[in-house]
Chain A
Amino acid sequence: MTADTATLLDPAVLARIGNLELLARTVVEGFVNGLHRSPHLGSSTDFAEHRSYMPGDDIRGIDWRLFARSDRYYVKQFEADTNTNFMVLLDVSPSMRYRGATEGTGSVSKLDYACYLAAALAYFSSTQRDRVGLATFDDDIVEYVPPSAKHLRLVLHALERTTRSAAAAAPERARGAPSRASTLDAPLRKLSESLRRRSIVLLISDLYEEPDAVLSALANVRGRGNDLIVFHLLDRVEIEFPFADATNFVDLETGERMPVIPAYLRAQYRGVVAEHTATLARRMQEQRIDYALFDTSKPLDKALFAYLLARERFSTAR
């Protein structure tokens, strides 16, 4: 990837683009242009095998070179392109609206970053002629766009509404308005019921639940035969805990307060977070779920790579 493309995928730069469709196109085309020599692309017309010619076959498929050598008619067969359901499950719980405010960290919230990712991947999948759909949820389903080849625009509008409503809710959060703690289990159970066909399901969340609870919730989706990709989004502040002064910490999900001396807790906090993410990664690998942790201050290309690799693996695992 060139330096220019990397800059283009910087979330802080992307945040200045108001139109989500334009943003998605910019990201995907910038990414694909940067990747034009990558081995991960160009598998759509892979040669598969030769087969004897049978009456009724299209004669354009005959391998005439082979005919010249063997005096027999053979037809070349290629791996067929398939289109599939690509469903994005986007966590819009209050904790996703968190935007790290410490110096040197990214200037977009986890939700904004997640929306960019969802828009880019939906756009990318749509260009692959996949049926794209979106579901946003907190402790229940908030918005649902069923998968369809014609729903890209609906998905992008829904994502824009999500970012706008998050921005409107931010002042309210600042005043410390209480809310309910969200769990993955109930919404994922409902969503798995609504998925009629096997789909590639992308879950974007900050996964603030115990690994057992997360895996139990994901089993609802996996148990229906869907291929599942989990993008775990965390702000750099959540990973590094760079606070200095003793303060009261307020839980964005529950409104709960807690007095904390960060200097004493930093090392332990980092250890707990590292253990949490490592446990999630290990457990999901055991369950054959594609899991990737993303820092929202980093460019989007890593996420796109992760999605493409997972997609390639699903297609070769047929």
Chain B
Amino acid sequence: MGLLAPAFLAGLFAIGIPIAIHLINRERRAVVQFPSLMFLQKIPYRSVRRQKLRHLLLLAMRCLALALLVAAFSRPFLQRRNATSSSLLGARERVVLVDRSYSMGYADHWKRALDATRVETRDLAGNDRATIVFFANDPAAATEPTASQPRLDRAIAGAKLSSEGTRYEPALKLAAQILSASNLPRKEVVMISDFQRIAWGRRDDVRLPPGAAMRTVDVGGAQGADLAVTQASTDRDRVGDRDRVTVTARVTNTGAAARTIDATLELGGRAIETKKLTVPPKGVAQARFAPNVVPASATRGTVRITRDSLPANDAFNFTLAPGEAVSVLIVLPSKPRTNQGLYLSRALAIGDRPAFRVDVKAEDALRAGDLVSRSLVILDEVPPPNGAVGTRLREAIVAGTGLLVVPGDLAAARWSNEWRALMPARLGSVVDRTRDAGGTVATVDYGHPVFELFSAPRSGDFSTAHLFRYRLLVAPGDSGVIARLDDGAPALVEKSVGGGKVLMWASSLDEYWTDLPLQPVFLPFVHELAKYAGRYGDARAWFQAGDVLDLSRHGELTAPFIADAGASAGASPLVLESPSGRRTPLTASGAEHLATLSEQGFYELRGLGTAAGSGRPIAVNVDPKESDLSRFDPRELVAAVMATPGAGPSGSGSSAAPEELERGQTMWWYLLVVALLLLAAETILSNRLSKTESAGRV
């Protein structure tokens, strides 16, 4: 039962006033104006002396008539959710948005959400249709708009909690899209969630289509207390010839009481150390574990705390891997000049993050086997190889190996067409600027990974280096010029070829044509150049659920497989197995190098056909922001997404279009007729009583 104009119910007080006037035995002397009788009307009446009521039947009839009149003016209607009302008002398009973020795993929230989803989908009648959308960071429709109960039940039965956080905006946009595409007359959205404050940003902007209504089902209850491992850091140091790692975990407590828990460090699946930890209320505590030797191969690590009501954030996973080197091959002419390649190899030999493993080969001694498992090949004033070696090098480039070409004064006329197509620039004449003290690197793309390190002030000055001679490079449209000289000529040019990068440096990398190797910027420049061309990505100890794994940017993950399978392994099939056992075929580069890490736990990347457990573990954790269980009022959300004011945001509980329901039922008319009949009867009765009393007095 609902009321279209509930304010008229205040008129029920009118029934009490005449009675009270009779009952209160005090004379009224004055009238006092008062801002509102709202509070007075809440207080039960008290009288000094009760008078005997006469003609109780008349009083009862008058009161009943008055009550019926008030009820009629309140325009009541029945909120029937059945085929009759549906057929009266037209079919309904309902989108049920169900939050499946990991915070819904708190206590029994997920079970309550699924129960509420069943209630909402079994409430359909006639031509009504429903769509179930499960959402966390991103929404996914579990069904098409359908009236089929078995299909909806199957979708609910197959629903699983996600490891991701919550965002309402994409889910509501999808719901708005579904409703906009619907031709049914009544449209509504039902959102079932725990209504965490972090899920709705102040700047989120979604509008439901005009006429659509929205209801919310809050399964969250009171804000709960939770303990979560929100971060684990791995600090490395070196003792003797061994790397050690110290793991520090950060535990947060959102509850109002301090908690003492156990925090356990597990490496390779074995519990290594357990610490007692007291986390203050609404505070943070750190657990620092004793140093451990870094294992020889990538190993799974977990910090686990005592299980509580939200188990998903009670463990934090990470991967411990030994330092990985970038393998660089420098190819020199058969008869190199003095010190050619010396500065380059010495510069790359310095540094351990990453370490560079450098090999130097003469042009005529180069074999195809030398190219195996190389991250970067540098042709230092050497023409690109022909024959089988050349073919193998081109395959390796497509698979992800980098190539840095330093042409010097080589003639390009005899280069094969295959190599010409791969090169980022055509070679022009040699420019000699020894007379004007040489050119300088004047324009640098500081947004490029090679020069990003130098973008901050005092982080390296290229203008101090002089390029006395350089090769004029003519870059076609598909190549990028990363650095230019003061006369506008390209200094460093790049081109993407398959999964690899080909770069060309206009001058020399020793002191033959330039004094750059004598400048302080040379070492970081060569390191950044080698890291970029060699596709070295900073190794990540863990990812977050919802992150996209781009193998082309994480050479450290695919390096073991390239080493095992040869230079062409970049295109060889790999498989990524999720914690739940789902397998995704991938390649280190090419079309299938992306995968979404949606599950919490350890993924495993390995070669196709190899045994489980032999691959590279990849740790994935839940979004720590989702551990913040503070809530907000769902009515704010409803008010923010309704298309037009007064379109019927009904918050939690009632359904849409009460005006239409009331108009279809016209209960007020029946109530008015009954009230008028009662008043007519009362008039007749009171006349008779009046005559009787008059006759009695006479």
Contact = CB atoms under 8 A, between A and B. Distances in A.
Nearest to B631: A286
Contact of A269 (B40, B202, B646): B40
A146 interface: no
A179 interface: no
Interface stretch (B27-35, B383-391, B655-663, B673-681): B27-35
Best-surrounded residue of B7, B29, B47, B640 (most CB of chain A within 10 A): B640
Given A72-B458, A258-B41, A272-B39, A250 B33 contact: yes
A64 interface: no
Query: Which range contains the number of A residues in contact with the other chain?
Result: 35 or more
B37 A52 contact: no
Interface in A87-107: 94-96, 98
Interface string B1-17: 00000010010010001
B26 to A, nearest CB: 4
Contacts of B116: none
A259 interface: yes
Interface string A233-276: 00100100001011111111110111111001100110011001
B31 A246 contact: no
A216 B20 CA distance: 34
B640 A224 contact: yes
A142 B48 CA distance: 45
Interface of A is mostly: mixed
A189 B645 contact: yes
Contacts of B38: 208-209
Interface of B is mostly: loop
A18 interface: no
Contact of B203 (A55, A225, A259, A268): A225
B24 A259 contact: yes
Nearest to A173: B33
B639 A220 contact: yes
Contacts of A264: 46
Query: Which range contains the number of B residues in contact with the other chain?
Result: 35 or more
Best-surrounded residue of B21, B29, B34, B42 (most CB of chain A within 10 A): B34
B456 interface: yes
B637 interface: yes
Interface in B453-469: 456-458
Given A208-B38, A219-B636, A258-B37, A243 B456 contact: no
A253 B635 contact: no
A110 B458 CA distance: 64
Contact of A252 (B10, B36, B456): B36
B31 A257 contact: yes
B633 interface: yes
Contact of B33 (A252, A265, A269): A252
A206 B34 CA distance: 13
A252 B635 CA distance: 31
Interface in A45-59: 52-55
B46 A265 contact: yes
A250 B7 CA distance: 18
Interface in A182-217: 189-190, 192-193, 198, 206, 208-209, 215-216
Given A52-B456, A193-B645, A272-B43, A247 B31 contact: yes
Contacts of A72: 458
A248 B34 CA distance: 10
B601 interface: no
A247 B33 contact: no
A174 interface: yes
Nearest to B28: A248
A79 B247 CA distance: 37
A42 interface: no
Contacts of B13: 256, 258
Given A52-B457, A198-B202, A264-B46, A250 B32 contact: yes
Contacts of B34: 98, 238, 249-252
A181 interface: yes
B120 to A, nearest CB: 23
A63 B637 CA distance: 47
Contacts of B40: 249, 258, 260, 265, 269
Best-surrounded residue of A95, A259, A287 (most CB of chain B within 10 A): A259
Interface in B176-207: 202-203
12 contacts: A215-B635, A219-B633, A219-B635, A223-B636, A235-B35, A246-B28, A247-B28, A249-B31, A251-B36, A258-B40, A261-B26, A269-B39
Top 8 A-B residue pairs of the complex, sorted by shortest distance between their CB atoms? A95-B35, A223-B639, A223-B640, A225-B202, A208-B36, A246-B26, A223-B636, A98-B35
Given A222-B639, A251-B35, 4 more contacts: A55-B457, A110-B35, A222-B636, A261-B47
Interface of A: 52-55, 72-73, 94-96, 98, 110, 173-174, 176, 181, 189-190, 192-193, 198, 206, 208-209, 215-216, 219-220, 222-225, 235, 238, 243, 245-254, 256-261, 264-265, 268-269, 272-273, 276, 286-287
